[in-house]
Every structure is written in C-alpha cells, then in structure tokens.
Amino acid sequence: MAYWNKEIECMPPERIKELQLDMLQKLIANLYEKNQFYRNKMVQKGVKPEDIKTLEDITKLPFMYKQDLRDNYPTKMFTVPLNDVVRFHVSSGTTGKPTLVGYTRNDLDYWSEALARSLTSCGVTDEDVMQVSYGYGLFTGGLGAHYGAEKVGATVLPTGTGNTERQIELMQDLGVTAIACTPSYLIHMIDVAREKGVDIRKDTKLKRAFLGAEPWTEGMRKHIEDATGIKAYDIYGMSEMAGPMYTECEERNGIHIPWDIMYVEVIDPETEQPVPAGQKGELVVTMLRKEAFPLVRYRVKDITNVILEPCKCGRTSVRIARITGRTDDMLIIRGINVFPSQVEHTLLQIPEVSASYMIIVDRINSLDVMTLQVELKPEAFSDKVEEMTAVKKRVEYEMKKYLNIAVKVELKEPGSLPRFEGKSKRVIDRRTYE
C-alpha cells in the first residue's frame, strides 16, 4: 500500500482530534482578531474564540453562505494582503453569480498536497501519464488536477476540454494511463472513440479516470468501466475549498477527507443540527489551514453523509459518501423531490436507452409537467413504431416506479442531445410562478 504522507494519513483518531482542535482554536482566534467579516459574524452570534473548548463546540460558530462571498465580492473576505495572493479562480456559477477565490503560495501547495495524497491512494505514480481534460482557466479543475499530478511526478498532458478526436489520438500516441475530466465528458469521449474505431480497452493504455465536478452515480461507474475496462474514481471539491482535491482510495468506499486540511460536519438543512454519521444531510466545511480565503462552517449545499468506519486502506481520516446532488439542484415536481441523479440511476437500468438525457419541467394549467428526453442506444434504435412505443412505455413505467411521479418520455436518436465538455446541464426548468 502506497501513501504520500503516511504519518498524517494514518494518524490515530484520538491524536487527530487533539490536533484538529488546536488548529481550529488558532484559526478562530486569528480570524476574530484580524478580520472584520468573521468578527462581526461571531459578535452577532454572541460567541468568542475562548468558547471553543472542544471540537464539538464548532457548532456554536455561525454558518457562512455563498451569499457572504457574493456580498463581499471581490476580495473583502481575503485575510491576507493582495501581494501575498498568487492566484485567483472564479467558480463556474452553477447556481448564480460566480464567486471569486484567492490563494497564497501555501494554499496552492496544500491543494497539490491534498491531490498528491489522493492520487497516490488510487495507485497513481511517477510512471503514469495523466491527461487533464478539465477546463483550464478560471475553473479550478484543470490547473488543480495539473499541479496535483505533477506533484506526484506523473507526466501531465494538459489537453483541457474540446477537440475530442485530437485528445483520443494523443491518448494513444503518448500512452496516457490516467485521465481527469467530468464523467459526462468521458462518456462523450468513449462515443467519439468508438465512432473513430478506437476501443479504449484495446487501443489505449488508459487504466484510471478521476471523474468529478458534477454528480454521477454507481450505475454510471459500472457503465464506464464495462465500456472501457478502466477503473473510475470519484474526485470531489469546490472552488471555495480550493478546487477538486479529494478522492476515494483503491477501496472505493467513500471519499477520504484529509483531517489537517478540512473539517467536515453534516447537518439537517432544516433544523441546522448535526445528523449522526451514516445519515444524509448537507455538508458544512471548515478549512483548517487556508490563508488567503479561509472558510468556517461553510454551507456547501452538497448532500452526503459521514462515514466513520475505518477504511481497509489504513487511512484514518473521516470519509464522506458520494455526493448525490445539491440541496439546490433538487427539483420539486408536484410536491415530490426529484434529483437528476435518480433519473440517471433509473435510466442505467434500462438496456435500450443511454445515459444521455435532458429533463424539462413546465407548468401547464398550474400543474408541473416533467418531460424526459433520452437517447436510444444505437443498437436499440429502430423505425418500427411498436418497438419504440414499447421502450417509451418501459421508461415511463420505471420512472413512475422509482420517482413516484408521471414523466412524459421522448425518445431521441443516438447522439442527438447536447454533449458537454465541462459540467453538464441536464435540467431546463421553464416554470414561472406568477
């Protein structure tokens, strides 16, 4: 078993708690003393740094929200002078106005350190050639994965997104063994490769994919692995944390969260109280050592649960379960909660259709109507009307069974729905509420 930083990664849990408490106390004392934003928030909540006597006392501290970042745009929340900031990134703004984040030299080092631990835990070494097909630029994915892989000593191929045919050629020519990209882009690549007559399993050396930046399911993992023979790992992060940085290990039973970098809580979004390990809720994070742009009890909005059971890999940090969606990507259709990940999960059980889909929600005569456009697999595509009607009925039946609402299904020709190189956008909500 290879570790990047064994002492830290395998530290006994009791010792972790002591060190985390120490880091938390120092962080809070420093922010209270030096930063207006944090001080005001704590004064409003009536809490002082000396009230943090145990790790559990973290719940006394106020929450931070994305709105705080927007209100303090661009740099009012930075806690170091701008000449110590060596990089900006801007989040993709999936849920509204983009937010700006900044990094000191140390922040960048820790981001790469987190990735180096993660990649090593999945077997990446200096012998690997890693293709980074996340967007480079304002988005954190490209540069994040890039420096993480370089730190491990892998040879990085910085393709970024787009020009998929060329990407496949380079993958073959340069013996790429690992790739980092969104799951939707990998699916697209697999399709393009197939059209070019390239079989990823036989015609490339690809062994591992690090897929993230958007939710994906176990069904999608199986689909990708069956189609390519590679191993697909979940990679998680968000701009406010630094970027993509945490992954599963070879055991693939939850995402390891380095205890010296991020402290995690999971709460019930309504009561705002912590939920027990194993129970789903909203992720809340505190970055224990960020300098330019710290976060304390930040409401991430992603839905997950904490896993406390020790991992077979020997790492002692807590893990979080695969993110099943964001509290704000949940659609409420006729009063029923629907997550796009549930739709994906259901589609992957039906052999005739692919996992390329689009959800369209309308409000017709004051009723919500959900239309699901889904592509047929090439081998299932037929011009026999009865056959197509049977498939459509099957999809409608499975959706009704799983989601508990009636869904109008439209079957589409293979390859006809939009493809995504970065984060996918699979929901069009056209409802207006006058």
Chain residues that interact with Zn ion, rule: CB under 5 A? 249, 251, 311, 313, 315
Of the candidate spans 77-85, 118-126, 171-179, 228-236, the one that interacts with ligand ADP by CB under 6 A turns out to be 228-236
Of the candidate spans 162-170, 213-221, 365-373, 391-399, the one that interacts with ligand ADP by CB under 6 A turns out to be 213-221
Which strands form 306-307's sheet, in the order they lie side by side? 255-256, 319-320, 306-307
| DSSP notation for 106-167 | HHHHHHHHHHHHHHHHTT--TT-EEEE-SPPSSSHHHHHHHHHHHHHTPEEE---SS-HHHH
Tokens 């993480």 belong to residue: 148
| 429 Rama sector, left if φ>0, alpha if ψ -120 to 50, beta otherwise | beta
The span from the CA of 224 to the CA of 236, in Å, is 18
Per-residue contact string for residues 92-131; x = within reach of ligand ADP by CB under 6 A: xxx-------------------------------------
Q: What b/e sequence results for 8-42 when a residue is b if at least 16 CB atoms lie within 10 Å of its CB, and e otherwise? A: bbebeeeebeeebbebbbebbeebbeebebbeebb
Nearer to ligand ADP by Cβ, of 204 and 305: the residue is 305
The answer to whether residue 234 forms part of the interface with ligand ADP (CB under 6 A) is yes
Pick from 238, 267, 313, 399 the residue near ligand ADP by CB under 6 A: 238
Of the candidate spans 33-41, 126-134, 211-219, 263-271, the one that interacts with ligand ADP by CB under 6 A turns out to be 211-219
Alpha-carbon distances, residue 282 vs 94, 271, 298, 324 (angstroms): 17, 11, 10, 11
Q: What tokens does 151 get?
A: 């730190």
Q: What tokens does 348 get?
A: 């992957």
Nearer to ligand ADP by Cβ, of 113 and 212: the residue is 212
Per-residue contact string for residues 306-325; x = within reach of ligand ADP by CB under 6 A: -----------------x--
The span from the CA of 24 to the CA of 38, in Å, is 14
The answer to whether residue 424 forms part of the interface with ligand ADP (CB under 6 A) is no
Q: What tokens does 271 get?
A: 């009561």
Pick from 122, 198, 213, 295 the residue near ligand ADP by CB under 6 A: 213
The answer to whether residue 13 forms part of the interface with ligand ADP (CB under 6 A) is no
Number of residues that bind ligand ADP (CB under 6 A): 17
Per-residue contact string for residues 139-178; x = within reach of ligand ADP by CB under 6 A: ----------------------------------------
Binding site for ligand ADP (CB under 6 A): 91-94, 212-215, 234-236, 238-239, 300, 302, 323, 326
